[in-house]
Amino acid sequence: MHRFLGYCALVLTALVAVLTVPTAAAAAAPVRIMALGDSITGSPGCWRALLWRHLQSTGHTNTDFVGTLPAPGCGFAYDGENEGHGGYLATGIANNNQLPGWLGATRPDIVLMHLGTNDIWSNIGTTTILDAYSRLLGQMRASNPAMKVLVAKILPMNPANCAACGRRVVDLDNAIPGWAQAHSTAASPITVVDQWTGFSTSADTVDGVHPNSTTGIQKMESRWYPALTAALGGGSTPTGATVVGGQSGRCLDVTGAGTANGTKLQLWDCNGQSNQAWTFGSAGEIRGGSGRCLDAAGQGTSPGTAVDIWDCTGQANQQWTLNADGSITGRQSGLCLDASGQQTANGTPVALWTCNGQANQRWSRR
C-alpha cells in the first residue's frame, strides 16, 4: 500500500510539472496594432489590408490588428479591425474623450495615426490640431506607458470645395516632426511617417482627398511598412529570398542598405541582410526588405536604364517576369536584369539591358 501511494505521488508530481510549464504561445503574445484615423483609414482603408498581407508574407505573423470597428471588404480575407471613423476630427476625438474607450477595449501596443484631414477641411488651425494630438498621446500613454506611436504627415488634399486645404495640409505636415521630437521619449517613441511626399491628389486619389484602390493605397502601405516593422523590432524576423547572379555568385543588393526612393541596385557578397531579401508578388512586383519595389528608374525602357527601389505603385516599370532560363525581364521594357559590363565584383551596378542569354543575366532565388 505504501508503495502504491508513493507511485501515485510521483505521477501527481509529474502531472503538476507538465501543467505548470509555460507554453511558447503564452510567452509570445501577439503585438497589438491599432490604426487610428478617419475615412482614409477605415472606409474602406484597404491600405491596411495590403499592410497586413505584406507583414504576413515577410514573416511578421505574430501581430493582431485591433479596433472596435470591423474589417471592411478589400477583396481578400485579412485582419482588419480598426479605429478609422469616417468624418471624425482629431480635435473632435480629443474634445469628446472618445479615445480612452477605444484603447480600453483593444489595448494596443502600437498606434498608427493618420488624423487631421477633416480638421483641415473644417479650417481648424495647426496649433489646435497639434494640441489635440498631445491630448490623444497622453491618453495612449495612460493606457500603455510603452506605447509606440507612428504619426503620419497626412496625405495632400485638393478637394473641389476647399481651395485653401492644400496649403493648410503643408502647414500641418511641416509642424508634425517638431511636435514628434518634442514629445517622443525612450519609453514611448514617436515615429513620423511621411505620407505626403510623392503622393498625387490627381493620380492617387478618387476625389482629391481619399486614396484610390490602386496607386493610392499601395503608396500608403509602402510608407507604413518600414516604420511598422522597425517598431516591431525583434518580435518577428523578416523573410525573403536572395537573388543570386549566375555569373558572379553575388547577391542582388540595395546599395548601402539604403531604404530611400531611388537607391540603386548592385552586386554584393551575400550576407543575409534585409537589403538582400526579396519577396515576389502575384502582380509581378518584387519587393525588398525596405517595403519598396524593384523599379526601372524613371520609367526607362532603354538599355542601360538603372534599376532602383521605389514606393510600390503597381505600374508596369515595377512588374517583372521570372523566366525558365533564369533571366528576369521587365514587363514594360522587355529588357533583362543585367550585371553591367559582365562584371562580377562587389559594387557592380545592375541595370536593364537587351536580353542575350549570357550568364550575367541569369539569376537564381535561394
Amino acid 274: pLDDT = 80
Q: What is the pLDDT of residues 275-303, one digit of tens each?
A: 888 988 878 899 988 888 999 999 999 99
Report the alpha-carbon angle 233-236-241, nearest 5. 115
As a whole number of angstroms, the distance between CA 311 and CA 313 comes to: 6
pLDDT exceeds cutoff 80 at 52: yes
14 inside domain: no
Residues 192, 49 within the same domain: yes
pLDDT exceeds cutoff 60 at 10: no
Bridge partners, residue 264, by sequence: 308
> pLDDT confidence of 226, banded at 50, 70, 90?
confident
Number of domains in the chain: 2
Give the domain range for residue 210.
29-235
CATH number at residue 350: 2.80.10.50
Amino acid 281: pLDDT = 82
Of 235 and 240, the structure prediction assigns the larger pLDDT to 240
- The whole-number average pLDDT for the span 147-160 is 97
Amino acid 20: pLDDT = 44
As a whole number of angstroms, the distance between CA 279 and CA 219 comes to: 17
Residue with cell 484610390: 212
148 inside domain: yes
Residues 100, 167 within the same domain: yes
pTM reported for the whole predicted model: 0.65
Amino acid 239: pLDDT = 53
Residues 44, 63 within the same domain: yes
Residues 182, 327 within the same domain: no
Helix (H, G, I), strand (E, B) or coil at 224: helix
pLDDT exceeds cutoff 80 at 50: yes
Residues 49, 170 within the same domain: yes
Query: Measured between alpha carbons, how far is residue 136 from residues 101, 150, 151 in Å?
Result: 12, 13, 12
CATH number at residue 64: 3.40.50.1110
Residues 103, 207 within the same domain: yes
Residue with cell 497639434: 130
Residues 283, 225 within the same domain: no
Domain boundary among 210, 235, 260: 235
22 inside domain: no
Q: What is the pLDDT of residues 251-281, one digit of tens each?
A: 999 998 888 899 999 999 888 778 888 988 8
24 inside domain: no
Burial state string for 333-360 with b = 16 or more CB within 10 A and e = fewer than 16: bebbbbbbeeeeeeebbbbbbebeeeeb
Residues 71, 173 within the same domain: yes
> pLDDT confidence of 205, banded at 50, 70, 90?
very high
Query: Measured between alpha carbons, how far is residue 365 from residues 72, 135, 148, 243, 288 in Å?
Result: 36, 49, 35, 5, 13
- The answer to whether the beta carbons of residues 210 and 40 sit under 8 Å apart is yes
Residues 224, 200 within the same domain: yes
20 inside domain: no
Residues 230, 275 within the same domain: no
